Amino acid sequence: MAESCNSRGFSWLVKSCFPNPQETRRGTTLVTRVSDKSPPENRHHQTTFASLPDDLLLECLSRVSPCSLSSAFLVCRRWSQILDSSDFYDLRRSHGHVHRTLFAVAFTDFGVYGASHRIDTNMPWKTTLFPAVEVVAPETFDGSFSHSRLTAIGRRIYILGRNATIRYDAWTGTVTPRSPMIFPRKKFAAAAVAGKIYVSGGAARTSAVEEYDPESDTWRVAAEAPRRRYGCIGATVDGVFYAIGGLKIGGPHVEATRGAGAEAHVYASTMDLYDVEAKAWLRSRAVPGGGCVVAACAAGGHIFVLASHAVELSFWRYDGRRKSGGFGEWCRVKTPPLPAQVRLDSTVRFSCVGVGDKVVLVQVLGSIDDLLRRSRRTCRGWKEGLVLVYDNDKGEWNRGVDLPEVIRRAACVCVEC
């Protein structure tokens, strides 16, 4: 079946899902009603999609165009169940119809916008108005997602806010409210490990690491973090949940001493490693050279960290493959080639996303104040929404397709759709 968005070509498929009213079912065989006087050689069987066994229907639907999937879910309950099954996802992936896609969500005064882009193409970002506001109560939505984190499991994106959680289905385009975290958090670490979501940091009153089960839509405390972090970043490699960077916050053990500021700064270049299966914390080395972690992600079995040293940036790779001989080793790699107009100050933010073996570095705005400074910098030729792609195999950076104008204060994630 050709991958086309032509609705006329899809209509016959939809109609064939419904049984022919002129047919009657005898046992498991559909036989067309014909006159008793008609000769046997003129009698024939007419098969519709409704009569196909699940395995054949699954094979046919796995070839449906991506832009027709949202319509296919609405045909009937049987189709919806098949399309929502893991067998359909695995078969569609084996046919090469599932692609790693970069997805960005921006919360603005004019609404919530989503944008998707495949980095292996030169096609522009596809921007749509995000329907999140319609499913979250206004009093909950206001301020809840100002510092949200995005994480993806398969085709579903989970947007984790301070007091609310919403799930976006990249195939159907539907948004569903889910259970919020147990403890309100802000600028915390989040990542998906083995089909579950783990969050840590961003809460001054607790060091709890929470685990979310998408099947039961429930949160529980999985562990207690060794350090309370604020502004940290989450990632995962080989069954380990990483809480990276950030500053020290809260806790009765924090004293207003002369060394408190120095200790908080040390947090900015360290990582906490939680082995999900063993339910234990692992030891790790801090980022060499110190600095402050401003962006991080996992890609190709490694953790990539972008560190700031006040006037310059450094880019590091950490081997997260526990069965390799180099587990836990740091290696400095090529620094992203940022334009000269980009200054390393409070107005510049970066979002780092792993897409397969590649690292995508996206420049985003960090606050409302950044928007006010935008016009002055734009006049000096400063480019916003910059996208750079790092190829780990080649060790080179390439320029990607810039973010669309409406997407500026964005959170980014890689989703399979």
Choice between 28 and 280, residue whose per-residue pLDDT is larger: 280
**Unique residue bearing structure tokens 């040390």:** 266
Q: Is the pLDDT of residue 101 over 80?
A: yes
Q: State the average pLDDT over residues 330-343.
A: 83
392-409: pLDDT as tens digits:
999 999 999 998 887 777
**CA atoms of 172 and 80, how far apart (whole Å):** 10
Q: Is the pLDDT of residue 121 over 80?
A: yes
Q: Is the pLDDT of residue 226 over 50?
A: yes
Choice between 411 and 260, residue whose per-residue pLDDT is larger: 411
Choice between 225 and 9, residue whose per-residue pLDDT is larger: 225
Q: How confident is the model at residue 378 (pLDDT cuts 50, 70, 90)?
A: very low
What residue ranges do the domains of the chain occupy?
A: 7-94
| pLDDT, position 105 | 86
Going by C-beta distance under 8 Å and a sequence separation of 6 or more, which residues neighbour residue 95?
Answer: 62, 63
| pLDDT, position 39 | 54
pTM: 0.81
200-224: pLDDT as tens digits:
999 988 999 999 999 999 999 999 9
| pLDDT, position 47 | 61
Q: State the average pLDDT over residues 338-342.
A: 70
33-52: pLDDT as tens digits:
444 455 555 555 556 667 78
| pLDDT, position 24 | 44
| pLDDT, position 93 | 84
Among 280-284, 315-319, 322-326, 373-377, the range of highest mean pLDDT: 315-319
- pLDDT, averaged across the chain: 79
Q: Is the pLDDT of residue 174 over 70?
A: yes
Give yes or no for a contact between 242 and 189, defined as CB atoms under 8 angstroms apart: yes
